[in-house]
Amino acid sequence: MNYELKSGDFVMKKVTAIILSAVFLGMLIVFPKICAEGILNGLESSAKILVPSLFPFMVLSSFAIRSGAYECTGKLFSPLARILKLPKSTVSAVVLSFIGGFPVGARCVKLLCESGEISEKQAERMMKFCVCSGASFLVTAIGAIMLGNITAGIILYVSQIVSGIILGIVSGIFSNKESEKKIPVKKPESTDIMQAFIMSCSDGATAIVELTAMVSVFSMLINVVEKLGADNYFLTSIIEVTTACQKIAEKGCPLWALSFAVGYGGLCVHLQIFSLLKGIKINKLIFELYRLANAFLSSLITYFICRFFDMSVQTFSISGNANAELTSTSIVGAVSLVIMSGIFLLSLNGKFLKK
């Protein structure tokens, strides 16, 4: 019976792969120019938004784990670890996921799991809430550039953080402590600071190439869907978050609608996370349910914040560059990076300078 089920799953996967391949090939043959435009749009978006805003945090997150600097961060933010019912070593991953953006948390969690600091079950639980739009994207790209209103971006960012912490607490309440015990893993010998930095740059480059490829493919898909007349920002929100935010801003929808879109993140982001977490078993259905819960919760928080401060919940019309360019000189991104770098450098006073 089990063999039959496994055989059926195998056949289903093969059939699904064949169908998707046929659809993909059909798009390339029938809409070659539209597909090419979509790929170019994706590459341009990655160059202007993804690389400047995420690559530094990818390198920083990898360096924090490889160098052992996360141990210092865990001591500084130990109350947060207690609230979330997680080891202190996970705090750097949680903080960086809230500051750096969607894939950064996944990268940190993967490194922690590989180093034996957390179990696979703990890694799975962390990915229920360590998925957040970064400060640079929300405050600068959406708030300042798309909406022309930094306050709106800050509200979106606060909503994401509060929602993430709430979901982290909820996941901790329902977690099985026995199943989350760490499996003893022999830690590798401590890495030299320079070597850790070089390896971190390599990690960041590899991750950013994978993310760029994913964004380009989904950008192509969105371009084809739009050309076929299915230009709907709700559908786009399910597929890819950046394009969805641009459309929501253009239509002047309520701010909570933007919060819902960034709270869910889109399938493109979800696949990026699954790619970064390859090798770790993640219940994808539970993951998607938590993403939907985060979307509803963050949009609700945004709505009440706007009502509390007697602000208009209607977004401003899109202003400036509709492509929402985000440069590496983003003030929010720079300040966040400096703060986190300072925290990590504190660890040099003890562990590393003694070598």
* Dist. CA 12–CA 325, nearest whole Å: 41
Other residues' Cβ atoms within 10 Å of the Cβ of residue 201: 15
Q: Which H helix or E strand runs over 144?
A: none
Sign of CA dihedral 158, 159, 161, 165: positive
What Cα–Cα distance (Å) separates residue 321 from each residue in 22, 54, 144, 301, 326? 36, 20, 11, 28, 10
| 234 or 98, which is more confident | 98
**What count of Cα atoms within 13 Å lies in the side-chain half-sphere of residue 305?**
23
Distance of CA 172 to the CA centre of its chain: 20
Give which of 86, 163, 75 is closest to 118, Cα–Cα.
86
Largest CA distance in the chain: 64
User: Collapsing DSSP states into helix, strand and coil, what is residue 319?
Assistant: coil
Give which of 43, 40, 31, 44 is closest to 229, Cα–Cα.
31
Other residues' Cβ atoms within 10 Å of the Cβ of residue 276: 25
Tokens (6 digits) for 12? 């289903």
* Dist. CA 353–CA 16, nearest whole Å: 54
What DSSP string describes 14-33? HHHHHHHHHHHHHHHHH-HH
**pLDDT tens-digit map of 2-13:** 555 455 566 777
What Cα–Cα distance (Å) separates residue 318 from each residue in 152, 251, 298? 13, 8, 22
The stretch 141-152 carries a mean pLDDT of 83
**pLDDT tens-digit map of 116-145:** 888 888 999 999 998 888 887 888 778 887
The stretch 93-108 carries a mean pLDDT of 82
C-beta separation of 127 from 120 below 8 A: no
- Which residues make Cβ contacts (< 8 Å) with residue 102, sequence separation at least 6? 131, 132, 133, 134, 265, 269, 272, 273
pLDDT surpassing 90 at residue 158: yes
**pLDDT tens-digit map of 35-94:** 999 899 888 878 877 787 778 877 877 787 777 776 676 667 778 888 888 888 788 788
- Which of 131-135, 166-170, 226-230, 342-346 shows the lowest mean pLDDT across its residues? 342-346
In sequence order, which ranges of 31-149 are alpha helices (DSSP H)?
Answer: 32-45, 51-66, 70-76, 78-84, 91-100, 102-114, 120-126, 135
Give which of 112, 114, 138, 278 is closest to 210, Cα–Cα.
278
- Scored b (16 or more CB within 10 A) or e, 103-140 reads bbbbbbbbbbbebebbbbbbbbbbbbbbbbbbbbbbbb
Mean of per-residue pLDDT scores for the chain: 76
For the chain, what are the domain ranges? 41-349
Angle of the 51-66 helix axis to the 193-227 helix axis, nearest 10: 140
Give which of 203, 215, 202 is closest to 44, Cα–Cα.
215
* Dist. CA 319–CA 264, nearest whole Å: 24
Percent of the chain surpassing pLDDT 90: 15
Name the amino acid, one letter, at 287. F
User: What pTM did the predictor assign?
Assistant: 0.73
Give which of 352, 354, 279 is closest to 72, Cα–Cα.
352
